[in-house]
Chains A and B, each alone.
Chain A
Amino acid sequence: QQQVKQSPQSLIVQKGGISIINCAYENTAFDYFPWYQQFPGKGPALLIAIRPDVSEKKEGRFTISFNKSAKQFSLHIMDSQPGDSATYFCAASTSNTGKLIFGQGTTLQVKP
């Protein structure tokens, strides 16, 4: 019940295309859903996060869509760029614990 399942494991997108990464969870107590971006040799960095009181959050080219009834959330990267090539992790937690449960990660490659 503590798992967060992420797909796909890897993704190749052409420059200018839309990258979509999906996550699913079981624990209905989760109330904080961040996405992290990790470049080689670096630690993960927070990209965007959402709480279940909204169904969508957009920051620049990055959008989180959240479906509470389906217990799913996804990251959409519009107009994908080669500089977006990285590993993306979804995560979930209950906000009073700080205990982030991470998905397995998606390696994104954006081809020029």
Chain B
Amino acid sequence: ETGVTQTPRHLVMGMTNKKSLKCEQHLGHNAMYWYKQSAKKPLELMFVYSLEERVENNSVPSRFSPECPNSSHLFLHLHTLQPEDSALYLCASSQGIADTQYFGPGTRLTVL
């Protein structure tokens, strides 16, 4: 595997379910990001981790909970989501905070 990978690629969940999105980067980077991409809206930064510490939390509802156990892996834990949370969730990584961000293919999430 190369670059940034995300699993699953598609996820359908009910509002009472708990699920997790996984991101793995194979680039030796030190910073990782979660973005939300909704139709007809700009990409929204959700969380930033640098050296496994959260450095940005962009006013995201608590039903989204990130976890960065090491510099290669990033998770987004989901619980009691709303239908308006349906979107493409993108993970990205960069060497450092100020460097070029490389994106994964995203997880298409549908909340019923």
Interface residues of A (CB under 8 A from B): 4, 32, 34, 36, 41-46, 49, 89, 91, 95-105
| Chain B 41-76: CB-based contact to A (< 8 A → 1; otherwise 0) | 111010010100001100000000000000000000
- Total A-B residue contacts, Cβ distance less than 8 Å: 58
Interface residue? B34 (CB, 8 A): no
- Nearest CB in chain B: distance from A104 CB, A: 5
Q: Given contacts A49-B100, A97-B97, A98-B97, are A42 and B43 in contact (CB under 8 A)?
A: no
Starting from the known contacts A44-B43, A101-B42, 13 additional A-B residue pairs (CB-CB under 8 Å) come to A32-B98, A41-B105, A43-B92, A43-B105, A44-B103, A46-B101, A49-B100, A98-B31, A98-B33, A98-B94, A98-B101, A99-B56, A100-B45
Considering only residues 66-112 of chain B, those with a C-beta below 8 Å from chain A are 90, 92, 94, 96-106
| Size range of the chain B interface in the assembly | 20 to 34
Do A98 and B48 touch (CB < 8 A)? yes
Q: Given contacts A44-B90, A46-B102, are A99 and B4 in contact (CB under 8 A)?
A: no
Q: List 21 A-B contacts (CB under 8 A).
A: A4-B42, A32-B98, A43-B90, A43-B105, A43-B106, A89-B42, A89-B43, A96-B98, A97-B98, A98-B48, A98-B55, A98-B94, A98-B96, A98-B98, A98-B99, A99-B48, A100-B43, A100-B45, A101-B42, A102-B42, A102-B43
> Of the candidates A43, A89, A95, which one forms a contact with B104 in the assembled complex, judged by CB atoms under 8 Å apart?
A43
Interface residues of B (CB under 8 A from A): 4, 31, 33, 40-43, 45, 48, 50, 55-56, 90, 92, 94, 96-106
Chain B residue at smallest Cβ distance from A49: B100
Chain A residue at smallest Cβ distance from B31: A98
Do A99 and B45 touch (CB < 8 A)? yes
